[in-house]
Amino acid sequence: MVLLENEQFLSELTKFYQKVKTAGTVLVTMKRYDGRTKPVSRKQKKNEPVPPEPQEYKCLIRAQVGSKKISTIIPAKDMNKFQVAYANLIRGNIELKKKEKK
């Protein structure tokens, strides 16, 4: 998975949508990101300290087409600006099809 800057991510995502115009699917996921790169084990030792919760969470966004994957991490202060750019990208690339009669 490739970690990109926000603007690069949006441009690559535009390319993904252009690639799947005729057939295919773009999978986009968003989740809260606390900065950890390794999962927390279930069996945490008693004498091992628990890491403190971050003061500000970030947002991890991933996109996938076939086997190609990209991702970006967005700080909370830039989230509104990114959401506006992402919404414009979606509006520009989405095409709704009418239901086919059976």
With tokens 């970030």, the residue in question is 58
The predicted model scores a pTM of 0.78
Is the confidence at residue 13, as pLDDT, over 80?
yes
Instruction: Tell me the three-class secondary structure of the chain, residue by residue.
Output: CEECCHHHHHHHHHHHHHHCCCCCCCEEEEEEECCCCCCCCCCCCCCCCCCCCCCCCEEEEEEEECCEEEEEEEEHHHHHHHHHHHHHHHHHHCCCCCCCCC
Which pair of tokens denotes residue 82? 């990114």
Q: Can you tell me the distance from the alpha carbon of 95 to that of 80, in angstroms, rounded to the nearest whole number?
A: 24
pLDDT reported for residue 87: 95
Is the confidence at residue 82, as pLDDT, over 80?
yes
Per-residue pLDDT, averaged over 56-84, amounts to: 93
- Cβ neighbors of 35 (< 8 A, separation 6 or more) are 54, 58
Per-residue pLDDT, averaged over 59-87, amounts to: 94
Choice between 23 and 70, residue whose per-residue pLDDT is larger: 70
Tell me what the pLDDT averaged over the chain comes to: 86
Per-residue pLDDT, averaged over 42-69, amounts to: 81
Per-residue pLDDT, averaged over 31-53, amounts to: 73
